[in-house]
Structure 1
Amino acid sequence: MKATAFSITLCIFLPTHVFSAALETSNQSIATFLQPNHYAEFSTAFVDANISGNTYRPEANNPSIYTETSTQNFVNHFYLSSAALKLQLDSNWSAGLIYDQPFGADVSYALDPVATSPDALVNAVDFKVDSNNLTALIGYQPNQSWNIYTGLSYQSLKMHLKISGQSMGILADYIGEIKKDSASGWLTGASYQRPEYALRTSLTYRSKIRHKQQFQEQVSTVPVIPLLNLASDQNTIIETPQSVNLEFQSGITANNLIYGSVRWVNWQNFKIVSPLMSSGNATLVPLVNYQTDQWSTTLGLAHILNDKWTLMTDIGRDSGTGNPASTLSPSDGFYSFGVGGLYNIHSHLFIAAGMKYLKLNKAKIQQVQNGSGSLFGPLSSVNNNNAVAYGVKAGYRF
């Protein structure tokens, strides 16, 4: 079968979850670790999201009267990158490193009915989450078909959040800064392959990673109200979610292969809690949390034109997390369509590029919100939002 000369995992040219449920920006695939022999790759993607809607604001001269106003686009474009190195130590043992950016957010907007008056600010948010993840893997191959692997992940996480808003003529600012923290988790899985059919499947479990981080918070008001002007510097616990990945590929004819994945992420147990706002309350006050777990699927087809060129296309679906519509959660899952191409420069080096279009599902409208997103401002309506990602990948076999 001609397809055995190629690996369809090379054709997954974009991060599958460039704008998916919750804070996820990577599907945390270990497909590069399953490449034959020695292998190295680097990929990067640019994501341009068009996210907007409408929200209610109080009139500047009468805070008891509300009118709708557009949020404009409030998600900044962003870049993602990943890199991997896999070494085949001998016929039975392999080792590898995978770097990616699994979680992130970059939301920024301001609703100001009187542009020249800061005191008239209705609502503004600046929310940014950054993460980096380095996974070290070791695999044991008892025969040509099976690969049993395990490893450790070293992950860093930090967050900045500023929320400003006007209520009854009072301007209040909340600033929360979670300092960068690093913590470790683990993963394990198994892969089965039949090279003569270009068949490969893998099932991988990643544990949650528990971060204990310093959380600096401050609330201030204009005019100054001493009882509301508070500050806190405490530790908080953030656990990035556990997940399961099922990935597969198979040749169907000499020149055509199918590939796909199913992914589950335990977002329902994820929370970012404010120690300052929770102080004295019977229940914890979450700044960010999610109502349901995430399920996502991808299915694609690759066609090998010749020894130099391979074309591919795929479709995908993401279930979302069930949160009501807010400027934190304007969408609830998506449908995606991707196209791309791979060019073999020579037998050891290739480059691939492509684009992926994401049609974002509208989150449900719920004006009275509790929990996640309520501090960010609920949306009265959601526009037909979408995102486009452009990616490039280079791989080297040695």
Structure 2
Amino acid sequence: MKATAFGISLGIFMPGYLYAAALETSNQSIASFLQPDHYAEFSTAIIKAKISGKTYRPASNNPSTSSEISTQNFANTFYISNLALKLQVHPNWSFGLIYDQPFGTDIGYALEPISTSPADLVNAVDFELDTHNLTAVFGYQPNLSWNLYSGLSYQTLDTQLKISGQSMGILADYVADTDQDSGLGWLTGISYQIPEYALKTSLTYRSKIRHQPQFYEQTFSTPAIPALNLSFKQPINIETPQSLNFEFQSGITPRNLLYTSLRWVNWEKFKMISPLMSSSAPTSVNLVDYQKNQLSATLGLAHIFNEQWTGALDIGLDSGIGNPASTLSPSDDYYSLGVGGFYNLNSNLFIAAGIKYFSLNKAKVEQDQDGSGSLFGVLSSVDNNRAVAYGFKMGYRF
């Protein structure tokens, strides 16, 4: 029995979503576009994380001194989805549309107000960022083995941010949000396959996408202090990062398939700068930035049980982005273990589901943090944090 008998392809078994470094929520796989003939796919995932640590809080009887306390979980559950359509419009030409949500976060964290502090301040963060991508891909297949493809990506981005608390170095609430902004990027890649051996490999480059949304910033203090009650409106530059994906699969026995993926993401270039805070500072104040680029890898094995059922197991790792520990970056890399299953309802329709567990490694603690993520709350220690992703996928060949 050949591994190709059931249309097995890299990326079908496991949810293509990660609890990865920085703001990444999707591995931006091109696997759906490399399916044979006409193909449609829907997938969704739920990500639940347990992330906490210890931070400093001003003492209730003396706000100028701090004590160490445990935080609550500050990562909210979030949901992401993917849609894909691939059409083989000619034996040598194909066209595809892929919708995904590649970057995002949802952090919510608050401690009780300090009733005796001058402004009744609360140590809190609320940070949400959403992106939506629609990619159109054109492919040229000069023969059965090679596929050369390129395309354009239309991306929208919006974000909301609120920071409060003396322990974060400010004496007022800070609120910022952007209008939804759109930008264009591009991708290009090459794929090689030998169908009779279930061998398929691809290399895909995606460009950065530049956004220039209108950025609204305000600070509030209670009681009102004019010097701390400010507002600012100005366009800012946000560039979602360029990336490089390598994906590989091969049948190793008639019933077993090996698959792997490698991904590089250029997070060093990503920044969100506050024009309001930077106006009175000697250097630019970064709301969000990252210290190094991300490398991640997955290695998996799929086994065909019969014509209906296939199972898969994979392991993964991520290099992290080098930021010191804060409520925005409590972990710096991870190890993962995933289990998935694939069921053919008939020759054209399949469903797949999987669960992936992430062990989040601790970021380096810097007691006098002044830099990346410092506005999001210095952590004096980091707990053994974890995340779980539950994924479901349905595919139809026609």
TM-score by length of structure 2 reads 0.97
Give 2:249's aligned residue: 249
**1:344 maps onto 2:359 in alignment:** no
SS at match of 1:75: coil
**Paired residue type of 2:346:** H
Q: Does 1:239 align with 2:239?
A: yes
Amino acid at match of 2:14: F
Give the Cα–Cα distance (whole angstroms) in 1 for the partners of residues 59 and 116 of structure 2. Answer: 15
Match of 2:210 in 1: 210
Q: State the shift of 1:117 in Å.
A: 8.7
Contact 1:11 1:312 in 2 (8 A): no
Alpha-carbon distance in 1 for matches of 2:114, 2:281: 35
Does the C-alpha gap of structure 1 residues 60 and 248 become closer, same or farther in structure 2, counting only changes over 3 Å? same
Deviation, 1:11, is 2.9
In 1, the alpha carbon distance for the partners of 2:9 and 2:91 equals 22
Alignment match, 2:102: 102
Secondary structure of the structure 1 residue equivalent to 2:299: strand
Q: Which residue of 2 aligns with 1:125?
A: 125
- Conserved in 2, the CA contact under 8 Å of 1:170 and 1:223? no
Listed as ranges, the matches of 1:311-326 within 5 Å are: 311-326=311-326
Following superposition, the deviation at residue 295 of structure 1 comes to 0.1
Displacement of 1:169 after TM fit? 12
Contact 1:57 1:66 in 2 (8 A): yes
CA shift for structure 1 position 230: 1.0
Cα deviation digits, residues 153-180 of structure 1 (max 9, x gap):
0000000000111379985110011111
Deviations 1:299-346 (A, max 9, x none): 000000011000001000011000000000011111000001110000
Query: Which position in structure 2 is the counterpart of 1:328?
Result: 328
Alignment match, 1:9: 10
Q: 2:197 corresponds to which residue?
A: 197
Structure 1 residues 266, 170: closer, same or farther in 2, change over 3 A? closer
1:27 match: secondary structure: coil
Correspondence for 1:160: 160
**Contact 1:63-1:168 at 8 Å conserved across structures:** no
2:291 aligns with 291
- Secondary structure of the equivalent of 1:64? strand
TM-aligned CA deviation for residue 113 of structure 1: 5.5
Q: CA 1:2/1:112 → structure 2, altered by over 3 Å: closer, same or farther?
A: same
Task: Look up the SS of the partner of 2:219 in the other structure.
Answer: strand
> 1:119 Cα shift?
4.0
Change (3 A) 1:158 1:63: same
For 1:283 and 1:187, the matched residues in 2 are separated by: 34
Distance 2:148 2:58 in 1: 59
Q: Helix, strand or coil: the match of 1:380?
A: strand
Q: In the TM superposition, what are the counterparts of 1:215-230 in structure 2 within 5 Å?
A: 215-230=215-230
The aligned counterpart of 1:364 is: 364
| Change over 3 Å in CA distance of 1:345–1:338 after alignment to 2 | same
Residue aligning to 1:53 = 53
After superposition, the Cα gap between the structure-2 partners of 1:185 and 1:306, relative to the gap in structure 1 and judged at 3 Å, is: same
Percent identity over paired residues: 67
Count of aligned pairs? 397
Q: Name whichever of 220-229 and 84-93 sits farther off.
A: 220-229
Equivalent residues of 1:58, 1:122 under 8 A apart: no
Where 1:46 maps in the other structure, the secondary structure is strand
Letter in 2 for 1:275: P
Residue matched to 2:143: 143
Higher deviation after alignment, 323-332 or 3-12: 3-12
Instruction: Report what 1:84 is aligned to.
Output: 84
So what's the TM-score if we normalise by structure 1?
A: 0.97
Q: Point out where structure 1 has 5 or more consecutive residues left out of the alignment.
A: none
Does residue 112 in structure 1 map to residue 112 in structure 2? Answer: yes
Partner Cα distance (2:354, 2:115) in 1: 41
Deviation at 1:218, TM superposition (A): 0.4
Alpha-carbon distance in 1 for matches of 2:147, 2:370: 46
The farther-off stretch of 67-76 and 221-230 is 221-230
In the TM superposition, what are the counterparts of 1:171-182 in structure 2 within 5 Å?
A: 171-182=171-182
| Worse-matched range after superposition: 279-288 or 185-194 | 279-288
CA RMSD of aligned residues (A): 1.7
For the residue of structure 1 that corresponds to 2:374, the secondary structure is coil
Q: In structure 2, what is the equivalent of residue 279 of structure 1?
A: 279
Query: Structure 1 residues 67 and 253, CA, compared in 2 at 3 Å: closer, same or farther?
Result: same
Structure 2 stretches of 5 or more lacking a match? Answer: none
Q: 1:302 to 1:245 in 2, by over 3 A?
A: same
Q: Distance in 1 between matches of 2:115 and 2:392?
A: 41
In the alignment, is the contact (CA less than 8 A) between 1:8 and 1:302 conserved in 2? no
Deviation at 1:111, TM superposition (A): 1.4
Q: How far, CA to CA, are the matches of 1:53 and 1:280 in structure 2?
A: 32
Q: Are the aligned partners of 2:119 and 2:221 in contact in 1 as well (CA < 8 Å)? A: no
Cα displacement (A) at 1:363: 0.4
2:384 is matched with which residue? 384
d(CA) in 2 for partners of 1:310 and 1:368?
A: 51
Q: Return 370-379 or 26-35, whichever deviates more.
A: 370-379
Contact 2:362 2:383 (8 Å CA) reproduced:
yes
Q: Could you tell me which amino acid in structure 2 is paired with residue 149 of structure 1? A: Y
CA distance in 1, matches of 2:325, 2:124: 16
